Structure 1
């Protein structure tokens, strides 16, 4: 596996990226929920809450995979 300039292998870098984007989106969705509720659209607010929960689960799974890779030779020197 290549570690490039970051010291992270591609898979670890990809997991970090997905985790970051999931957490960032989850933060943004909070505003979307408020916007939908302010517009009187509880159905849409519920949809945004579902999406937020999915991203939260996605970030959690990334974290678990990164813990699994941590300390292994698969992760590259930045995680070892």
Structure 2
């Protein structure tokens, strides 16, 4: 990778923030999906949004793991 990252780095904070918001949005979509009962097209749209946000959160997790693994976390 070339650059070591610590949990305090802006890029790490940004990924944590993006992951948090993706997970919160995915939770909100559960409510929207329930509210869309009887409207299959709307329900399908919200289900797609929830899947995309879940994938986005997982991608953030994977990137964070890559960025923070190794000696960068020790601060050395």
TM-score normalised according to structure 2 size: 0.82
- Could you tell me which of 55, 58, 61 is aligned with 1:57? 55
| Structure 1 spans left out of the alignment, 5+ residues | 1-6
TM-score normalised according to structure 1 size: 0.78
| Structure 2 spans left out of the alignment, 5+ residues | 1-6
Is 2:69 the counterpart of 1:45?
Answer: no
